[in-house]
Amino acid sequence: MIFFIWCRLAKKVNCLSQRMMRFNRMLMVKQYGVYLMKFTRNALFQFTLLLLFSISNIGHAQTQIEVFTDTPTALGNVPGIEVIHYDLSVPERVKEKYLPALPGDIDRAKQIMKTYLASAQGMEFQKAIREAYRGHEKMVQYQLEKIPAVVFNQGQYVVYGITDIQRALALYKSHRNLEEAP
C-alpha cells in the first residue's frame, strides 16, 4: 500500500502494471471497510449483524453479586446472576487445619516452619492460604467498611448489614430505578 501511494504521489503510473494497481486498490478498499459497507446495504445482512451483536452482549448483561461474611453462610441462588461468597473466617480455619504445633523456642519454631513450608503439605498450605485471603483482598479493593456486605457490579454498589440476596437485589434495583428516573 505504501508503495502504491508513493507511485501515485510521484505520478509514476508505469511503475506497476494495471493488474497490480487494481490489486492494491482492492486491498485498500478492503482495509477501509468499503466491501463491508457494500454488504451492509443488504437488509438481511444488517439484521444478521444486529442479531449476532445482541446475542454476544447477553452474557455481558449479567449482574455479578459478591457477598462478604465472617461466618459460613448458606446463600440462595438467583437465576441469571453469578453469586460469589467470600467467607472472611476461612483463613483461620486453614491455619488450624494445616499449621503444625510450634514449640516456645523461637529458633526451633523457625526451623520447623522452614522445613514445613518446603514440604508438599507446606506448599498445599501456601496455596490454600492464598485462596483463603482472596476475600480480604477484594474487601480492601472495594474499600468495604463493615460486614456483612453485598457488592454489585465490581464494587459500584454495596448493601451493608444483610446477607439475603433477594432483599439486597431488591434494594439495588430500587436504587437503580431512582437513579435512572428524571
Provide the residue type at 152 as one letter: F
Nearest to 81 by CA among 157, 139, 159, 152: 152
CA–centroid distance for 87 within its chain: 20
Tens digits of residue pLDDT in 5-62: 333 434 444 444 444 444 444 333 444 444 444 444 555 555 554 555 544 444 444 5
The model's pTM is: 0.59
User: Longest Cα pair distance anywhere in the chain, in angstroms?
Assistant: 91
In the chain, what are the domain boundaries? 2-58, 62-180
Residue 72 CA to residue 177 CA, distance in Å, equals 32
Q: Which residues contact 12 (CB under 8 A, 6 or more apart)?
A: none
